[in-house]
Structure 1
Amino acid sequence: MFLHFLSIIFVLAPSVIVQSLDPTFSDDVLGLIVFKAGLQDPKAKLTSWNEDDDNPCGWAGVKCDPKTNRVTQLVLDGFSLSGHIGRGLLSLQFLQILSLTNNNFNGTINPDLARSGSLQVIDFNQNSLSGSIPDDFFKKCGSLRVVSFASNNLSGQIPDSLGSCLNLAVLNFSSNRLSGKLPSRFWFLRGLQSLDLSNNLLEGQILEGIGNLYDLRAINLAKNRFSGWIPGNIGACLALRLVDFGDNLLTGSLPESMQRLSSCTSICLRGNFLSGDVPQWIGKLNNLQSLDLSANNLTGWITYSLGNLQFLKELNLSRNKFSGGLPESMANCYNLLAIDVSQNMLTGNLPSWIFKNSLQSVSLAGNKLSGSITYSSLTMAASFQGLQVLDLSSNGLSGEIPFNTGALSSLLLLNMSRNKLFGSLPASLGGLKNAQVLDLSDNRLNGIVPSEIGGAVSLKELRLEKNFLSGKIPTQIGNCSSLTSLILFQNNLTGSIPAAIANLSNLQYVDLSLNDLSGSLPKELTNLSRLLSFNISYNRLQGELPVGGFFNTISPSSFSGNPSLCGSVVNRSCTADHPKPIVLNPNSSDSSGSSSTNYKRKNIVLSISALIAIGAAAFIAIGVVAITVLNVHVRSSVSRPDVALTLSSGEDFSCSPTNNPNYGKLVMFSGVADFVAGAQALLNKDCELGHGGFGVVYRTILRDGRSVAIKKLTVSGLIKSQVEFEREVRKLGKIRHYNVVSLEGYYWTPSLPLLIYEYFSKGSLFKHLHDGAGGNCLSWRQRFNIILGIAKGLAHLHQMSILHYNLKSTNVLIDDSGEAKVGDFGLARLLPALHHCILSSKIQNALWYMAPEFACRTVKITEKCDVYGFGILVLEVVSGKKPVEYMEDDVVVLCDMVRGALEDGRVEECVDGRLECDFPADEAIPVIKLGLICASQVPSNRPDMEEVVNILELIRCPYEGQEDLELN
C-alpha cells in the first residue's frame, strides 16, 4: 500500500505528447484482447473488454490520452486475475502506468516489458511471480520512475543493469527471496527517493555509496542479512524521513553523522548487534516520531536528551542492557503514545510521568524496578482515559495493588506478574470491562478471588497462578464469556469447581492444579468443544471424571494427585475401593523352595478379607482393632501429602534374603505404592531405561496401571545421612511444574537409595534429535516449544533455589503432547558437599554442556552454569547436531561452529538441514543468537532463565494456524 500510495501521489511531470492520430491505434485493442486471453477472470472484471470496440478507452481499468485515444494507463489492482503476464502488453506503445497489484499472476517476468520508451510505473506488488529478475529488464529503462515487484516469489540477485535507470525514484523489491550483495552500480541512482528491499536474503555491507543518494527520503533494508557497520556517511542523505535497518547482523555504534538527519521521523535499528550507548545527540532529531533500537547490545543510561523529542510518539528500547532509571525529562514528550523499555536492567521506582502523559501502551517488564504502584498514579492515568496496555511484569515491585485499578477502564492488557505484590485482589478489577488479558501471577497475593471479577466481561486470559489466594472460585467467572485461558494453579483455592465454567464455550486452556479443590467435576465440562488443556492435578477432587469430548484423550498427568478420581477414562472403577497398605520384601527371589520360603517371597497384603480368613474366635478383638487402625491410616493417607510404607530390604533387590534383613522406608508423595509384580521386579534388567552419572533408571508399573521410573542412585557412598537425604528429597518432591519431571516418592536404606519419578514413554530429547529416522524429524514448531518448555522448567527450578548441575539432552524428557520435561535435577544436593571433583566425575557425560567455571575451584557455581548448559542445548535442538561431533580428521565443537557462521552471515545454515526451508527465519535466527548469548564464556553476560523465557515469548511468531505439537 505504501508504494501504491507513492505511485499515485508521486509528481510525475507528464510531458505533453504531441503526435498525429494513428489509424493503427486499434493495435491497443488487439494487444489487450491477447493479454486477456491468457488470464482467468473469476469475478468477471474484464467483461467490458470487447474486441469489436474501436478503442479500449471505456474498458475497466483502462485509461487513454483524450487527444490520441491511445492507452496510457492499465490499472487492474485487486481484480483477482491469474495467469501469465503475456506479450500482448508489448503492443501498448504509449503505456505510462502498468499496475497489476493484488492479483495472482504467476510465471516469470517478461524481459521486454520495460523497453517501451514511455513506461514510467511498473507495479506488480502482491502476486505470485517467480524466477529471477531478468538482467535485460533494465537495459532500456530511461523513463522508469516507479518499479515494484514486492510480495512475490522472486529469487536470485538484483541485476546490475538496474544502475541504468537514472530516473528511478521509487524501488520496491520487498518480501521476496532475493539474495547476494547489492550491485555496485546501485549507489549511482541519485534520483532515488524511496528504497524498500526488506524481507529478503540479501547480504554483505551497506556501502558508503549510500551518501550519494541525496534525494533519498525512505530506505527500508529490514529483515535481511546485511552485516558490518551502519555507513558513516548516512548523514549526507539530508532528506531522509524513514530509516529501517532492523533485523540484520549490523554491529558497531550509531554513527555521529546521523545527527544531521533532522528531517527524519522514523528510525528502526532493532534486532542487530549494535553496541555502545544511545548518544546524547539523539535529542537533536527534533522531528523524530518513532525510534526503535530494541534487541541490540546497547548499554549505559538512557540519555536525558530524549526529553527534547516533543513529537516522539513511539519509543522502543527493549531487550538491551540499559541500566539506571528512566529520565524524568521524558515528561516533556507530550505526544508519546507507546513506550517499551522491557528486558533491560533498569532500576529505581516507577517514574510518575508514565501515568501523567496520554500514553496508550507502557511496557517496563523484565527490569529491576522497585517501589509500589500508588493510588494517585493510577488516578492520574485514569483521568486521561487512554492507557490500553500496562505491562509491569518481572520486576521487584512491592506493596498492594491499588484499590482503584478498575478505574483504568480503557485497559486491554494489565500484566503485573512476577513481582512481590501482596495483599488482596481489589474488587474494582471488575471495572476493567474492556480488558482482554489480566495477569497477576507469581506474586504474594492472598485473600479471595472477588466475585466482581465477573464484571470484566471481555477477558480472554485470566492468570492468577502462583499466589496464596484462598476461598472458592467465584461462579461469576461464568460471565466472562470470551475467556480462552483460565490459569489459577498453585494457590490455596478450596471448594468445588463451579459448573459455570462449563458455560465458557471459548475455553481452550484451564489449569487449576496444585490447589485444595474438592468435590466432583461438573459433567457439563464435556461441552467445552475448544478445550486443548485441562489440568486439575494435585487437588482433592473425587468422583467420576467426565466422559466424552476432550476428556476421552486427556493426559494422565492432567489429573494425577487426585487418588479419589475414578471412571473409565482413568481406568479405575468408581466402586468404594480402598487402597491397601503393603509390606514389600526386596530380598525375595523367584527360585522355588519350601512353602515357608515361598510365603516369604510373596508380597504380604493385609486386607479385611485376609484378616477374616486368618482370624479365629480368640483373635476377633485383635482383628477389630487392626481393621480400625487400617481404616484410619487409609483416610489419613488421602488427607496427608505423604504416605509412608515399610519395605523389607537387603543390599539389592537381586540378592538372596538374609536371616536378619534390614528394613527400608518407602514414601510416596501422593497415591499408594502398590507394585504389580512385587519388589523383585523393580530393578529388572529388562526394564532398564538408561543410566547416567547419578544412577540407573528402571521402569515399573503400579497396581493402578500407572508406570513410574525408578532411579537407583549409584552414589550411595557419598550420600548424606537419612535425615539429610529425606529433607533434600522432600524439597525436590514439592516441585510441581508443567516442564519439570515430578518426583513421586523415594525409598531409603543406607546401601540402596531409590528415587521414584513419573514416567514418559516418548523418551528423551536426545532420542528425538539423534536416534529417530528422518521421517520423524522434529518440526520447527515442536523444537521451539521444547526450547521454551526447557527454559520455563529451568526458570522454575532456579526460582525454587534449585540448581540442575547436569543439564543435557538425555535429561530432558518429552511427553505425549510434545512438552519438554526437565529431569534429573538437583541430585548434587544429595552429596555431602558440592566438591568439584565429585561433581565432575558424576556428570562427565555432560562435559560439553558444562560452563567453563566448573574447571576453576575458586569460582562459585551459580544458576549461570545451568544457563550455559541451556545455551548449548538450544544450539543442539536448532541444529540437530551434538555439542561435539568427532569426524575422521577433525573435531567439530557446535558452539564454535555456530558462532563462526553467525560472524560470516551464514547463521541460517546452522538450522537442521532436515527442516529444509520449513522454518521462520525471524524466529530461528534470534533463537540461535539467544543460545550463543546463554553460552557466553563470561557468566555475567548470560541472562537469567526468567529473562530467557520472556525473550523467547517475545521471539515467538503469532502463527494463524499452529501446527500439531504432539509427537507420534
Structure 2
Amino acid sequence: MLTLAVLLLFPLLLVQSLDPAFNDDVLGLIVFKAGLTDPQSRLTSWNEEDDSACNWVGVKCDPNINRVSELILDGFSLSGHIGRSLIRLQYLRVLQLSKNNFSGTINPILSQIPTLQSIDLSENSLSGLIPEELFQQCGSLKSISLAKNNLTGLIPQSLSSCSNLERLNFSSNRLSGQLISGLWSLSSLRSLDLSDNLLEGEIPRGIENLYDLKVINLSRNNFVGWLPENIGNCLLLKSIDLGGNYFSGGLPLSMRKLGFCRYLDLNGNLLNGEFPDWIGEMRSLAFLDISGNNFSGRIPSTLSNLQSLKEVNLSNNRFVGNLPESFGDCLSLKVLDVGQNLFSGNLPSWVFKLALETVSLSGNRYSGGINLPDPFSQSYQSLQVLDLSSNTLTGGVPSAIGNFSRLQALNISWNSLVGPIPKSVGELNTTFVLDMSHNQLNGSIPAEIGLAVSLQELRLESNFLSGAIPIDIGNVSSLTSLDLSRNNLTGPVPIAIASLSNLEILDFSFNNLSGNLPKELTNLTHLVTFNVSFNHLEGELPVGGFFNTIPPSSVIGNPSLCGSVVKQSCPAVHPKPLVLNPNTSGPNHGPLSPNLRHKRIVLSISSLVAIGAAVFIALGVVTVSILNMHARMSTARSAAAFTFSGGDDFSPSHETEANYGKLVMFSGDADFGMGAHGLLNKNCELGRGGFGTVYKTELQGGRSIAIKKLNTTSLVKCQEDFEREVKKLGKIKHQNLVTLEGYYWTPSLQLLINEYIPQGTLHKHLHDRESDSYLTWQQRFKIILGTAKGLAHLHRMNVVHYNMKSTNVLIDFSGEPKVGDFGLARLLPALDRYILSSKIQSALGYMAPEFACQTVKITEKCDVYGFGVLTLEVLTGKRPVEYMEDDVVVLCDMVREALDEGRIEECMDKKLKGNYPMEEAIPVIKLGLICASQVPSNRPDMEEVIRILELIQCPTESQEELE
C-alpha cells in the first residue's frame, strides 16, 4: 500500500517539481512521508499543498533562507525505510529519527546532503552494513549516532576522513572486526561509544592523538591485550568505560595524569597485579568499578585522597587484608561493594559512620561481631542495602538493626550468628528483603515480624528456630517468598498464611509442624513452589488450585497426610482433631543437628511443561528411530574417510608443510622442537570424533596439551576464514570450557591446540567397565551444573556447540567438567546439515529433532536438548540410545515413562547404590526431560537451567564442597 501511495503521488509531485516556486523541501518530505507508516498520525500537518514545510510538526527552518534545517522526529512510532527523497533537503543540518521503528539498511544518499552536521538514527531496527559511502563526503559531519540497531559488519575505513567529527556512537549493534586505527586521526573527537558489539583484537596505538576526547566507551566487546598505554595523554578525559572485555595486565601508568576523570569502569576483564598507589592522584574520580578481575594484594590507602568518590566496586577480585581506615575519609561515598574477595579481620567500623546507601561486604572472611554505631549515626538514616552474607561473623543480631529507617534489603545469611531474632525487626517497615538464613539463630520467630509490612522476601531457613509460626506473619501482605525450612518449628501451619495473596514461594520443610494444612491455602493463586515435606502434618491435603498439580515430593515425610497426591485415601468420617501437648517430646521431635540436616526439596517447573510435551513423545520415538537407521548407514559409508593412523601416514610433502606452516599460540610463542608433525604421536592417541583425531603431547617445558588433527574434508579451504573463526573460539574463556590455546595451518593439515584435561571424558567415567572411577551424587550434580554454566557462557558469546555429548565433556582433577569441541561447526564453509550431521553421527540420541527438518532454524535450543539427554545419562548411567536384541531403548522415553509410573528409582545408576537424595534427583530428572522436549520453544535457555539447578542444590552441601 505504501508503494502504491508513492506511485500515485508522483504525477502531482512531478508537475510541482517543474514549478520553480515549489519548495524542494516540501516535495522531499511528502515523498518521505508517503513511504512511512504513521500509526499515531503525528505527521498530519504535513500537507503537499503547503508552499513551505516550516510550520510542520518536527520541522525547523533557517529563517534567513526559509529552508528546512532540522528534521526531528524522535519517538514518533514511525516505521518504514529511510528513502532517497531526503536528498532534496539540501540545507538540512540536523536529522534526528531516533526511537522509531525504521528498518532496512542505511541509505548512503545521506552523504550527498552537504550541510548535514548531526545524524541520529539510534533505537530503530536498521540492519546490514554501515556503508562506506556514508562517510566519503563528511566534511560537515560533527555528530552521528547509530546506536541500538541491528547493524553488522566492520566499521567503515572511510570514517577516518570525517575530520570535524566530535561525537560518534555505534553502540549496541553487532559490529565485528578490529578497531580501525583511523579513529585516532579524528582529532576533534570528544565522545566515542562503540560499546556492546562484537569488536575484537587489540586496541591500536595512537589514542593519545585525541586531545579533546572526554568520553570513551568500548565496554562489552571482545577486545584483548593491554589497556591503551598512552590513554593518560588524553588529558581531558572525564569518562572511561572499558569493562566486559578480555583486557589483561595492569593499569597503564599514564592514567595517573587523568586529573579530570570522574568515571572509571574496568569491570569484567582479566586485569591482574596489585592496584596501584597512584590511583589517589585521579582526584576527580566519583565512580570506580574494577570488579570481576584478578587484582590482588591490599587496597592502597591513597584511595582516601579521592574526596569526590561516590561509588566504589572492588568485588570479585583477590584483595586481602582489610579496607584501610583512611577510606573512611571519603565523606561523599554512597555505594561500597567489596564482596567476593579475601578480606579478613573485623568489620570496618567506619562503614557505619558514613552516610552510605549501599554496603556489600559479602563473600569474604570477616569475623567477629556486628558492631553497630551509636543511635545518632547518619548511616541509620541513609543505609538502604546491607549485605554481610557469607562471612564467618559470630555473636548475636544487634537489636539496633531496627534503627535503619530506610533499609530496603538486609542479608546476614551464611554466617555463624547465634541467639534470638531481635524484636526490633518489626521496625524495619521499609525493608523488602530480610535474609538471616544459614546461621545458628535460636528462640522463636518474634510476633513483631508482622509489623515489617513491606517485606516481600523473608528467609530464615537453616537455623535452630523453635516454637510456633506467629500468626502475625499474615499481616505482611506483600510477601512473595517465605522460607522457614530446616528449623525446629512446632505447632500448626497458621490459617493466616492463606491471607498472603501474593505468595509465590512457601517452604516449611524439615520442621516439626503438626496438625492439618488449612484448606484456605488453595486461595494462594500465585503459588509456584510449595514444600511442607518432613514434618508431622496429618489429615487431608487441600484440594483445588495449585494443590491439584503439586508433586508428592512437596509433602513427603508426613505419613499421616492423605489424598490423591500421596496415593492414600482419607477415611470417610474424620475423627475429632487431636490436641497435641506442646511439651511432649519424642525421637522425632528433637532439634536437628547440623550434620543431620536434610537436603532442600525444590519443585522443578519442568514437571508442568513436561505434561504439555507428552503429546510429542510418539513423534520423538519415530524421529530417533529414523536417525538411528540413518546413522548406521552413514557411519558405514564414511568410516574410512574419518580414519587417521598416525605418523606413518605423513608424506614428504606434508613434512615440508609442517616445517613451514603457520603455528599460532594465543598465550605466546611455544617451541615444539620436532615440528608440527612431531606433535601427532600415534602411541598417544586420546580419541577420535567426527571432526578429527586427538593426540596428547608435551611442550618443551613439560606441560601437556591436546592436539586435534582436523579432518580436512568439508572444512573451509580459505586460510583467512579458518583463522578468523579459530581466533574467535580462542577468545572464549570459562572455567567450564576447554581452552583453545592455538592452531596450526597448512592447506592440507590443520591442528587445534587445546589444554589437556587429565581425567578423561565423562563418557569414560560413566560407561567404561574397566575403569575404577565412581561418581558420587555430589560429583554428578557438580558435573551437570558446571556443564550448564559452560554452555550458558557459549550462548552468551553467540556460539552454538552443535555436538553436545558425554565424550565432549572432560573432567579435571578437581572434578570440574570442561566442555570441549565447541563451535567446530564454524569451520564448515556453511551450515550444511548433511555435512554437519554426518560429522556428529556419534551424537545420535543427543541430536535435537529439528536437525532432521530442513525448515527449522538451528539455535542454542539444540544444545539445550543435548544437555537434557546428557543430564539423564549422568543420572542413570545409561547411554542415550541402547540397542537390544530386538528393540531400541531411547533414554528419554524410558525415564519419562518411569517418572509417570513412579518407578524413578529403577532408572538411577546402580553404582550410586541408593546414596542420593530423591528430593534432588527427581527435580533434576524433570529438568533433563524438559530440556529434551521435542518442541524447541518448550526448552528453557541455559541461564534458566542454571538458576533451577542452583535452587535444587542443597546450599550446605555446596559450601562443604568449596571448602
- What range is the shorter-chain TM-score in? 0.5 to 0.7
Q: Which residue of 2 aligns with 1:178?
A: 175
Q: Which residue of 2 aligns with 1:427?
A: 423
Segment of structure 1 superposing worse, 335-344 or 560-569: 560-569
Q: Which residue of 1 aligns with 2:280?
A: 283
Q: Which residue of 2 aligns with 1:562?
A: 558
1:79 to 76, 80, 84: 76
CA distance in 1, matches of 2:562, 2:784: 41
CA distance in 1, matches of 2:594, 2:370: 34
Q: Which amino acid aligns with 2:501?
A: S
Q: State yes or no: 1:33 paired with 2:30.
A: yes
Q: Which amino acid aligns with 1:432?
A: L
Q: Which residue of 2 aligns with 1:695?
A: none
1:875 to 777, 781, 790: 790
CA distance in 2, matches of 1:390, 1:846: 44
Change (3 A) 1:257 1:428: same
1:111 to 96, 108, 112: 108
Identity of aligned residues (%): 52
Alignment gaps of 5+ in structure 1: 1-21, 579-637, 643-668, 670-729, 742-759, 776-839, 856-860, 888-892, 905-911, 922-955
SS in structure 1 of the partner of residue 295 of structure 2? strand
CA distance in 2, matches of 1:149, 1:448: 59
Deviation, structure 1 residue 640: 4.8
Q: Which residue of 1 aligns with 2:635?
A: none
Q: Which residue of 1 aligns with 2:502?
A: 506
8 Å Cα contact 2:363-2:389 kept in structure 1: yes
Structure 1 residues 511-590: aligned runs within 5 Å:
511-575=507-571
2:221 to 224, 245, 263: 224
8 Å Cα contact 2:428-2:452 kept in structure 1: yes
Structure 1 residues 123-202: aligned runs within 5 Å:
123-202=120-199
Change (3 A) 1:116 1:309: same
SS in structure 2 of the partner of residue 517 of structure 1? strand
Q: Which amino acid aligns with 1:405?
A: I
1:737 to 587, 600, 622: 600
8 Å Cα contact 2:138-2:162 kept in structure 1: yes
Q: State yes or no: 1:412 paired with 2:412.
A: no
Alignment gaps of 5+ in structure 2: 1-18, 575-584, 605-609, 626-758, 795-800, 811-815, 828-845, 849-856, 864-940, 953-963
Deviation, structure 1 residue 111: 0.9
Change (3 A) 1:438 1:42: same
CA distance in 2, matches of 1:334, 1:189: 39
Q: Which residue of 2 aligns with 1:931?
A: none
* Per-residue CA distance 1:357-406 (angstroms, 9 max, x = gap): 110000000000011112436x3546650100000000011111111211
CA distance in 1, matches of 2:767, 2:315: 32
Q: Which amino acid aligns with 1:179?
A: S
Change (3 A) 1:866 1:475: closer
CA distance in 1, matches of 2:77, 2:221: 30
Q: State yes or no: 1:295 paired with 2:292.
A: yes
CA distance in 1, matches of 2:220, 2:194: 9
8 Å Cα contact 1:355-1:380 kept in structure 2: no
CA distance in 2, matches of 1:865, 1:284: 51
What number of residue pairs does the alignment pair up? 656
Q: State yes or no: 1:91 paired with 2:88.
A: yes
Change (3 A) 1:319 1:101: same
Q: Which residue of 2 aligns with 1:270?
A: 267
Change (3 A) 1:111 1:772: farther
Q: Which amino acid aligns with 2:287?
A: S
SS in structure 2 of the partner of residue 483 of structure 1? coil
SS in structure 2 of the partner of residue 250 of structure 1? strand
Deviation, structure 1 residue 165: 0.8
Q: Which amino acid aligns with 1:735?
A: H
Q: Which amino acid aligns with 2:520?
A: E
Q: Which residue of 2 aligns with 1:488?
A: 484
SS in structure 2 of the partner of residue 348 of structure 1? strand
Change (3 A) 1:50 1:958: farther
Q: State yes or no: 1:846 paired with 2:709.
A: no
SS in structure 1 of the partner of residue 426 of structure 2? helix
Q: Which amino acid aligns with 1:474?
A: P
8 Å Cα contact 2:486-2:597 kept in structure 1: no
Change (3 A) 1:23 1:328: farther
Change (3 A) 1:426 1:278: same
Q: TM-score, normalised by structure 1?
A: 0.62
CA distance in 1, matches of 2:860, 2:361: 34
SS in structure 1 of the partner of residue 23 of structure 2? helix
Deviation, structure 1 residue 120: 0.3
Segment of structure 1 superposing worse, 115-124 or 23-32: 23-32
Deviation, structure 1 residue 42: 1.2
Deviation, structure 1 residue 115: 2.2
8 Å Cα contact 2:111-2:133 kept in structure 1: no
Q: Which residue of 1 aligns with 2:343?
A: 346
* Per-residue CA distance 1:50-77 (angstroms, 9 max, x = gap): 1111101111010001121100000011
Q: Which amino acid aligns with 1:875?
A: G
* Per-residue CA distance 1:24-49 (angstroms, 9 max, x = gap): 56110111111111111111111111
Change (3 A) 1:406 1:965: closer
Deviation, structure 1 residue 737: 2.1
Change (3 A) 1:445 1:556: same
8 Å Cα contact 2:785-2:949 kept in structure 1: no
* Per-residue CA distance 1:223-273 (angstroms, 9 max, x = gap): 111111101111111111111011111111111111111110000010011
8 Å Cα contact 2:464-2:488 kept in structure 1: yes
* Per-residue CA distance 1:790-828 (angstroms, 9 max, x = gap): xxxxxxxxxxxxxxxxxxxxxxxxxxxxxxxxxxxxxxx
Change (3 A) 1:957 1:883: closer
CA distance in 1, matches of 2:225, 2:478: 48
Deviation, structure 1 residue 164: 1.1
Change (3 A) 1:900 1:95: closer
Q: Which residue of 2 aligns with 1:120?
A: 117
SS in structure 1 of the partner of residue 278 of structure 2? helix
8 Å Cα contact 2:508-2:532 kept in structure 1: yes
Q: Which residue of 2 aligns with 1:607?
A: none
Segment of structure 1 superposing worse, 870-879 or 412-421: 870-879
Change (3 A) 1:273 1:898: farther
8 Å Cα contact 2:551-2:565 kept in structure 1: no
SS in structure 2 of the partner of residue 538 of structure 1? coil
Structure 1 residues 382-401: aligned runs within 5 Å:
384-401=380-397
CA distance in 1, matches of 2:809, 2:376: 64
Deviation, structure 1 residue 881: 3.3
Change (3 A) 1:398 1:957: farther
Bigger Rg over Cα: 1
Q: State yes or no: 1:464 paired with 2:379.
A: no
Q: Which amino acid aligns with 1:168?
A: L
Q: Which residue of 1 aligns with 2:907?
A: none
8 Å Cα contact 2:809-2:818 kept in structure 1: no
Q: Which residue of 2 aligns with 1:437?
A: 433
CA distance in 2, matches of 1:318, 1:774: 48
Deviation, structure 1 residue 524: 1.2
Change (3 A) 1:333 1:848: farther
Deviation, structure 1 residue 897: 4.8
Q: Which amino acid aligns with 1:50?
A: N
8 Å Cα contact 1:25-1:70 kept in structure 2: no
Change (3 A) 1:774 1:415: farther
Deviation, structure 1 residue 302: 1.0
CA distance in 1, matches of 2:373, 2:622: 60
8 Å Cα contact 2:534-2:556 kept in structure 1: yes
CA distance in 2, matches of 1:51, 1:964: 62
CA distance in 1, matches of 2:347, 2:317: 19
